[in-house]
Structure 1
């Protein structure tokens, strides 16, 4: 029995542009190839992200928000994502509320591979908003788009980014309210995890990642990326889902 049995449309819930490709690009490409429609909601536009040194470095700060919006659109076109929404903007906005742009909350590295909250915060940020507000926004989107399954981070947000943790909380609460199954992303096989090993998706994922050029650089070997902070990482082509 698979978590995908009877599933025809999935809503992926991510925090920033590039998360959808880094964490779940291989799975999205695989699902689209199987005829399962994939939609995406993104919480923020990644305003606090560092920028890769080089010709795009001038975008750090002013200009990064809109540029990353374009990067995301290019990546989603490659992956075959059907629809995209920004949390806080219709149709992902609770009825009767004016549109809101949830901002990137930022992060600091606690140790290699584990992030935590940044010292400074902004009342416009995703983690600053009372939980009920983004939950109501996501419920509105779920009711509009009618997914059969929602997918988001585990309780630790994958590597601890506060926006990832918050999106986990928002997705879980919205799924419960809307009575839609919700699966968590897993990075290692284990009990209760349905594992997808998808090496054949590597060329598509690499092509999608090239659109996120402010945040990372796909290496000439086509199997690794170097992030804006200098971290080198294998492109992920295996991912698990746990209900």
Structure 2
């Protein structure tokens, strides 16, 4: 089960991993906590009449197509996008948005989905949300709370029989070392690195996220599906944007994995890992 804040997050964070496990026959469920209603149109080609005024419907259509491409199931949790506040000082969050809903409410709803789907592994974001969007931070809080509560029969008894998820992972995608290795490959080829300015702007004060990574999943064969799923979110993803700046052949050669941090586990496993199901008995994995 991969828990995400908005539609399109499932295609930019751990998408190739989910596509790989789905292709290998595992049941994979993406849970999308909000509808992404406050997302702007980030692809100029989609800034056309009839899109902005039906954004919630369009984003659902995009999500359905992305899930089809990845080969995963998908469930909406039904909360309202908080938007990304900008300015100094930042404006208050909109009333009724996901980030302001009491934690208990989305936790109960996610517990219900966990107990119904009965996953062995969950993925979500770390305490910083991957980046500090209020919905991403709330997604982390809800996921951790639901991981703990789902296995406790005294918590939310109306949500179904208790189910203990065996492992909880944080997805890590913003890795400076990855871009540095891409740049080295461009230098070897005698070509300019298309993300040089982006790399120069990288803030380094938070340290090296690779120090937190425990698990690397080889999934480069599924990078094309990841990219196709990203492009399915046409209002949010510019096909000429930075997601696609580095050609697939370089990505597959230089960095063929997606990265995760084992945050909580109820089974014994050895670090580093190359499989999210490491330590879970074969008979349990589905």
| Bucket of the pairwise TM-score, normalised by the shorter protein | 0.7 to 0.9
After superposition, the C-alpha distances for 1:105-139 in whole angstroms (9 at most, x for unaligned) are 011468xxxxx995142222111100000000100
The 4+ residue runs of structure 1 with deviation greater than 6 A are 234-237
Report the equivalent of 2:227.
206
C-alpha contact 2:108 2:146 (8 A) present in aligned 1: yes
Equivalenced residue count is 206
Q: Tell me the TM-score normalised to structure 2 length.
A: 0.65
Change (3 A) 1:74 1:107: same
Query: What SS class does the counterpart of residue 206 from structure 1 fall into?
Result: helix
2-structure distance, mates of 1:61, 1:221: 23
Q: CA deviation at 1:199?
A: 2.5
One of 258, 265, 269 as aligned partner of 1:239: 258
- Does residue 76 of the first structure (1) align with residue 67 of the second (2)? yes
Which aligned pairs between 1:105-124 and structure 2 lie closer than 5 A?
A: 105-108=82-85, 119-124=91-96
Query: What SS class does the counterpart of residue 101 from structure 2 fall into?
Result: coil
2-structure distance, mates of 1:185, 1:206: 17
User: Which deviates more, 124-133 or 184-193?
Assistant: 184-193
Q: CA deviation at 1:73?
A: 0.2
Report the equivalent of 2:57.
66
Query: Of the two, which has the highest radius of gyration?
Result: 2
Q: Which has the higher helix share?
A: 2
1-structure distance, mates of 2:241, 2:259: 27
C-alpha contact 2:46 2:234 (8 A) present in aligned 1: no
Segments of 5+ residues of structure 2 without an aligned counterpart are: 152-164, 176-209, 263-286
Change (3 A) 1:67 1:143: same
C-alpha contact 1:203 1:222 (8 A) present in aligned 2: no
Which aligned pairs between 1:1-243 and structure 2 lie closer than 5 A?
A: 11-51=1-41, 52-58=43-49, 61-81=52-72, 83-87=73-77, 101-108=78-85, 119-179=91-151, 180=165, 181-187=167-173, 188=175, 189-191=210-212, 193-219=214-240, 223-224=244-245, 238-243=257-262
Change (3 A) 1:137 1:171: same
C-alpha contact 2:172 2:213 (8 A) present in aligned 1: no
After superposition, the C-alpha distances for 1:38-90 in whole angstroms (9 at most, x for unaligned) are 10110111111110223444456531011000000000000000x22111xxx
2-structure distance, mates of 1:16, 1:62: 18
2-structure distance, mates of 1:139, 1:220: 37
2-structure distance, mates of 1:117, 1:186: 29
C-alpha contact 1:186 1:193 (8 A) present in aligned 2: no
2-structure distance, mates of 1:62, 1:183: 37
Change (3 A) 1:237 1:46: farther
C-alpha contact 2:38 2:83 (8 A) present in aligned 1: yes
